[in-house]
Amino acid sequence: MRRILLVAVLVATTSTPCLAKESYAIVVSSGTLADAAWKAVTVALEAKHAEKHDVSVVTWEKSVEETLPRLTEVFPRCVCFVATPEEAGREFVAQVHRLTRALDEDPYTDALWGILTGYDADAAMVIAKEAKPLTVHRVASGTELAMEMVEAGVWYCELNQNRMVRKQPGEAAEELRGPDDTTKALVDALNVEKAQLMVTSGHATERDWQIGFRYRNGTFRCKDGRLFGLDTQGNQHPVEAPEAKVYLPIGNCLMGHIDSRDAMALAWMNSAGVRQMIGYTVPTWFGYGGWGCLDYFVEQPGRYTFTEAFFANHHALIHRLEMEFTAEDGSMRTSGAGRGMLFDRDVVAIYGDPAWEARMAPADLAWDQELTVADDVYRLTVTPRRGSQTFEPINTNGSQRGWRPVVAYLPHRVKNVRVVEGADLKPRITDNFVLVPNPRQCDPDRKYVVEFQAERI
C-alpha cells in the first residue's frame, strides 16, 4: 500500500453520486452479455443512465480484473457490475474491491460501485429499471437503532426478549413490551407497515437469519427466491413486500454471500423489494465494515445516499489501515485492530445500481456542513450543533461503532491539491473525496474550516 500526500475538506450538506455527464461504466462478462435476458438487463441500465451520464459498457472474458485498463482510461464516477448469481460469489466481491482501488495510485476505492444481480434476469431487471429516488421515512430493525434519527419505525431487541422501541412520526420513541417471538412482527413491518429500510444483526447463514441472538426466537429463511419467516411454533409467514427499499444486515454473517440461487441475499431482492443492500460474504467478527454504515447512513440522515454511506465507511476503514497500521516501507501490521480492519476490507458486498439514490428522511444532524467551490478554491465549513458532544457517537450498539471521520464527496475529480487553511485538522484529499479524522474533542464555539486549491480534472 503506497503512501501519498492527501488533504481534506468536510462534506457538503448533500451530495450526488453521479453528476451530469459524469462517466458511468457497466461491467459485464461476455458470457452474461450473450444471454438475451441478461443482455436486456444491461441495455435497460444503459438506457436509464444515457441522458445524464456518459455510459461505457466494458466486458471481460475470464476475470473481471481484465477490465482494469479500460476502467483506468474511462475513470468512471460509478461502476455497475452486472452479474448472474453464478458469477457474484465471494471471490468476485473481493476482486471488485481490489479492482476499484487500482484505478490510480492511492489506496482508496476510486469509484462508487455496486453489483447488480438477481435470482434471475427478471428480478435483476426490476432493480435495473428502478429510477425513482427513495426517501426512507419508515424503518424496521432486529437490533437497537438510533430512533431519534429516523422519522418513524420500530426495533426489536436481539439480546433481551420482549424489548422493543417504536417511534411514530413527530413523537418521541417509546419503549414497549414486544412479543416473545418477533418473527411475525418483523414480517408485518415489511408487508403491512411498509418499512423502507430493514436493519438486521445476529447469527445468519446464506440460508437463514436467526432473529434472537441471546434467546430463542424465530428465523427468516428462503426457498426458490422467496423470503419467509418461520416462527418457533413452525408457522410460516411469507414476505411479500415489493415496494422499493434498502437493507443493512450490518452484523450478520454471510448474508451478502451469493453461493447459489438459494442465497438469502437474492430472496431479499426478489420478494422483499430490496433495491440496494450490503452484506458480509464471510462470517463476521470485527464488524467495522458493516456496523459503521449506520454511522453514515442512519445517523447522518439525508446527508449521504445509501451507496455514498457504504463507501464513506469503507474510506474510513482504508484510512485507518493506512494511518495506523501501514509502515513507511508499505508493509502492514496485522495484529489486533489492524488484523480486523484488513479482514473486513474486501469481504462486504454492496448490491444494486450504485447511481440509484436512496436517502434517509432529513433529521437534526450533529453538525452542519457547507462546501463551497469558487473557481479553484474549495472551502468546507463544519458548524457544531450538539455542543461539546458534537463528534461523539450517537449510538454504540454493535461493534466498532462511532468516531468515524467526516467524509465529503467532491462534485468532480481534482488534482494538484494545496491546503490553504485547516492543516491542523489533518485532512486527506483524494481525487474524488475528502476525509477529515474525527476531531473527537469539540470546541462548540469554533467553525471547523478547511480550504484548499485544486485543479479540476
* Residue 321: pLDDT over 50: yes
Q: Residue 11 pLDDT > 50, yes or no?
A: no
In 87-139, where does DSSP find H-type helix? 90-100, 121-129
Residue 4: how many other CB atoms lie within 10 Å: 12
Domains defined for the chain, CATH in brackets? 22-132+329-358 (3.40.50.2300), 134-302 (no CATH), 367-456 (no CATH)
Q: pLDDT digits over 273-302, tens only? A: 999 999 999 999 999 999 999 999 999 999
pLDDT tens digits, 388-435: 999 999 999 999 999 999 999 999 999 999 999 999 999 999 999 999
What sign has the CA pseudo-torsion 19, 20, 21, 27? positive
The amino acid sitting at 326 is T
pLDDT at 5 over 50: no
- Name the percent of the chain lying above pLDDT 90: 91
* 428-429 and 377-384 beta bridge pairing: unpaired
Residues in CB range of 109: below 8 A, 6 or more apart: 97, 100, 101, 311, 314, 315, 318
Residues 58-79 have a mean pLDDT of 98
Which pLDDT belongs to residue 13? 39
pTM beyond 0.75: yes
Cell numbers of 97, please? 474491491
